[in-house]
Structures are given as C-alpha cells and as structure tokens.
Amino acid sequence: MLSQETKEFLMSCGIEKEMQQLEDCCSDYLIRFIHKMYPMPENTKNMLGRNSMHYIQMALCRSKLLTDGVITALNAKNGLLAMLAARAHLEVTGALAFFLKKLNNYYRNAISYQILNEALQRLILGTKSLELSENAPAPVNVMTLIDAADEYLSKTRNEETKEFRENYNYLSEYCHPDFFGITMQSRINNAGITTYSLFYNLNEQDLTFLSSLMSSVSTFFLLFDSILELLMENEELPEYQ
C-alpha cells in the first residue's frame, strides 16, 4: 500500500482519484486470481480452454506485480522506476486485447483454430532469445499489442482513439535515455549552474503517468472478464481453486 507520506504528496498534487484507484485495484485482482489449476481429463481433445485460462492467469499475475511495483517505486520516491513499470503494464493490457480480438474472430469463424492457437503460442512462448529456445515462436510486436488496446477502446467507445499509443510513447520518453529520461536527475538554475542528484525524488510533473496506468488497469480487467466470459460460454475449462 502507499505510505502516508506518499499519499500526502499525491494529494498535494491534486491526483486523489488516481491514488484511490491505485489502492482499490488490489481487491479487483484478488477476486479474479486462482491459486491452482488442475489438469484436464486425459480424453480432452481441445485444450483451448485450459491454455487460454493459463495465459490470462499469468497475465493477471504480471499485471498485479507491475501495479505493486508502481506503488513500491512511489513509496521509494523513484519516479523513473514507477514509469518503467507503468509502461510494461500497458504492454500486458495490449496483449490481452490482442488475444481477445483473435478469440472473437475465431468464434465468428473469421479465422481458423490453427491461427488462433499460433497467436496464443506466440503470446505464451514467444521470445527473441535463441539461447532460451531455438524452436520458440517469435513474440508479437509490442506496438501491435498497444494498437490492439486502442482498437478495443475505439469499439467500446464508438469513436477512434489512440490513447494507448499516445500514453505508451509518452512513457517511452522517460524509459529511454532521451531528453526527458536523461534529464530527470539534473537541474539548471538561473545562474547557469547545473546540479545532479543520485537521490530519489518525486516531481509533480512526472506523476501524470498515473492516469495512463489506471486507464491500463481498468482496461485490463474489462479485457480479462470478456475473455473469461467467452471461454466459459464456448470451451471446456479445467477445475481450479
């Protein structure tokens, strides 16, 4: 949870709404979390339900850890680390949007089971490191994931939006050693004297990313629930607790 000092600082910056959302989302993760998933019966022919459940639970765990990471970073006054975690969260939300699109297309008979399964394999097993696996599929391009989130939001809002891409590009400016990222720990005063700092500090202007994070978190839950609903309607699912 956010420390009292962090809460007071966020409130002084006028971002009580995002602060409360960040603390409240913990319960949203817990009601969707499963501790164990059991094997399917030996005679099960279609493993789509099981594999999809496995994927969205792994995504849920990653989403929760990244959100917790933002809280930990804010408590430590490490704004840069918080932004890194926030940007990574947009990626995992985009991944669910990408999978939901494939799943919808499959149930509408727009794509084959093979295409859907290949997409799921890329989401779970995809890697660029041949050292990890020579036979692993290539991962889905991250900007494809981000654009999938925007496509989902555009459909739900009935208007075109590039919210995720804009937020992702903004966060990338801090995550990369570009102007905004490289100058976070330096200041130039009116006399032209430059000072540098190795100490963590939070600046009000750096906290605008919290609205991007909370948009990603709320979208993540909508996507998760939509995927789970489709699976429950159409697939045989494993037992879990």
Would you state the pLDDT for residue 232?
97
Would you state the pLDDT for residue 187?
87
Q: What is the pLDDT of residues 61-80, one digit of tens each?
A: 999 999 999 999 999 999 99
Q: What is the pLDDT of residues 157-187, one digit of tens each?
A: 999 999 999 999 999 998 999 888 888 888 8
Residue with tokens 């817990």: 30
pLDDT of residue 118 exceeding 90, the answer is: yes
pLDDT of residue 122 exceeding 90, the answer is: yes
Q: What is the pLDDT of residues 12-51, one digit of tens each?
A: 989 889 989 999 999 999 999 999 999 988 888 899 999 9
Bridge-based pairing state of the strands 194-196 and 186-188: antiparallel
How far apart CA 75 and CA 82 sit, in angstroms, is 10
**pTM for the structure as a whole:** 0.93
3-state secondary structure of 216: helix
Q: What is the dihedral of CA 173, 175, 176, 180, to 10 degrees?
A: 40
Would you state the pLDDT for residue 135?
83
